[in-house]
């Protein structure tokens, strides 16, 4: 079986083909971050416009290479995300399905992320806990079986990727600033001690909070005008250490609470090598397995949508032009 997957939840356009016999046989992702960096964040109108341009390029490429032949179904991201972006992928996916006389399958973007560590092995072992960290989401999810997910922890304010970008902005770094924060941290000195919000708060045991950390850094910088490069590095180091400590603590608590033997970690923030390495340390400490997606599937991509489409190909039945989009679609409502 071959599934064409389309991902357009935010600013990245991804199209992929998953073959049940050979895995991912086609995968292309276009990022619009350079365009949005001029404005300090994602502009929905520009994102949707670029999705149209990029999908046409990719679909034309699929036609030229004859990859479209023998496609059995089309999976598209139906939410959550920016509505103006989601509707592009949903409309094009459903239209292609109608023209090819096959079914289309709406897929939850977050489900794509939490199952992305299994794309290459197709060896899913339930139950497991997932840490989802991206620009728009920070969640701990307990996965009992395919399509059955419980959110056991979430951010009460900013997402991890979001706070990275906000701290970068405070430090005068252009959007997206997450990667540059980590680069600065390499040269930082351990001279600051920042708060770890809610790290030991029993009332919100598995929830996250990063706004207090952000406010602390903002006040520090405001108090010390014209900070130099070394100070930026020092701040970046302690900021990253604070974030990592919070993530580690919450993941450890979630494993203890659920008695899970597997922790999967996915979402764009997984691109951060320091975060990955620290989370891997939980393997020995808790005697568990920590799984990440292949590097090419860290950020939003069509492969994870195609893969989940394959997993659900015999479960979800959808009319070819029954377009479904829900920009607030929760994992618990699948």
Half-sphere exposure of 242 (CA within 13 A, CB side): 27
Q: How many domains does the chain have?
A: 2
One digit per residue, the tens of pLDDT, for the chain of length 334 reads: 999 999 999 999 999 999 999 999 999 999 876 776 766 778 888 989 999 999 999 999 888 888 888 999 999 999 999 999 999 999 999 999 999 999 999 999 999 999 999 999 999 999 999 999 998 999 999 999 999 999 999 999 999 999 999 999 899 988 778 889 999 999 999 999 999 999 987 766 999 999 999 999 999 998 887 799 999 999 999 999 999 999 999 999 999 999 999 999 999 999 999 999 999 999 999 999 999 999 999 999 999 999 999 999 988 766 667 799 999 999 999 9
Nearest to 312 by CA among 146, 117, 77, 93: 146
Q: Verify that 288 and 173 share a domain, yes or no.
A: yes
Let me know if residue 325 belongs to a domain: no
**Domain enclosing residue 93, as ranges:** 2-119+298-312
Look at residue 93 and tell me if it is in a domain.
yes
227 and 156 assigned to the same domain:
yes
Residues 52 and 85 in one domain: yes
**224 and 273 housed in the same domain:** yes
Say if 204 falls within a structural domain.
Answer: yes
Tell me, yes or no, whether 111 and 232 share the same domain: no
In-domain check, residue 320? no
Examine the domain organization and report whether 185 and 303 are in the same domain: no
Q: Do both 248 and 104 map to the same domain?
A: no
146 and 258 housed in the same domain = yes
Same structural domain for residues 275 and 178? yes
Query: Cα separation of 272 and 261, whole Å?
Result: 23
Judge whether 131 and 117 are in contact, CB under 8 Å. no
Instruction: Examine the domain organization and report whether 286 and 186 are in the same domain.
Output: yes
pTM of the predicted structure, to 2 decimals: 0.94
Give the number of other CB atoms < 10 A from CB of residue 82.
22
| Assigned domain for 178 exists | yes
In a domain, 269, yes or no: yes
Domain for residue 323, yes or no? no
CB 25 within 8 A of CB 46: no
* DSSP label at residue 174: P
CATH code at position 163 = 3.30.420.40
In a domain, 318, yes or no: no
Residues 14 and 107 in one domain: yes
């Amino acid at each position: 079986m071959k599934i064409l997957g389309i991902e357009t939840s935010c600013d990245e356009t991804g199209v992929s083909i998953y073959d049940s016999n050979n895995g991912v046989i086609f995968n292309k992702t276009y990022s619009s971050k350079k365009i949005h960096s001029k404005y300090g964040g994602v502009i929905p109108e520009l994102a949707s416009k670029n999705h149209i341009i990029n999908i046409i390029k990719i679909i034309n490429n699929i036609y030229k290479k004859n990859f479209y032949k023998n496609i059995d179904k089309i999976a598209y991201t139906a939410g959550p995300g920016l509505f103006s972006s989601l509707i592009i992928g949903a409309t094009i996916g459903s239209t292609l399905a109608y023209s090819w006389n096959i079914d289309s399958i709406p897929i939850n973007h977050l489900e794509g992320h939490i199952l992305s560590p299994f794309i290459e092995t197709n060896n899913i072992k339930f139950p497991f806990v997932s840490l989802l960290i991206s620009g728009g989401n920070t969640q701990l999810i307990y996965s009992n079986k395919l399509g059955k997910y419980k959110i056991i922890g979430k951010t009460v304010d900013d997402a991890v990727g979001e706070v990275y970008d906000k701290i970068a902005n405070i430090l005068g770094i252009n959007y997206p600033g997450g990667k540059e924060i980590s680069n600065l941290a390499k040269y930082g000195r351990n001279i600051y001690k920042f708060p770890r919000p809610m790290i030991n708060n029993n009332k919100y045991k598995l929830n996250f909070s990063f706004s207090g950390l952000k406010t602390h850094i903002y006040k520090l910088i405001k108090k010390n005008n014209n900070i130099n490069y070394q100070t930026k590095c020092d701040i970046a180091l302690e900021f990253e250490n604070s974030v990592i400590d919070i993530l580690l603590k919450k993941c450890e608590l979630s494993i203890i609470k659920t008695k899970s033997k597997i922790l999967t970690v996915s979402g764009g923030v997984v691109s951060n090598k320091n975060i990955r390495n620290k989370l891997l340390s939980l393997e020995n400490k808790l005697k568990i397995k920590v799984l990440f997606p292949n590097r090419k599937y860290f950020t939003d991509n069509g492969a994870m949508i195609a893969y989940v489409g394959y997993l659900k190909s015999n479960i979800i039945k959808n009319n070819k032009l029954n377009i479904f989009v829900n920009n607030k679609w929760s994992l618990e409502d699948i």
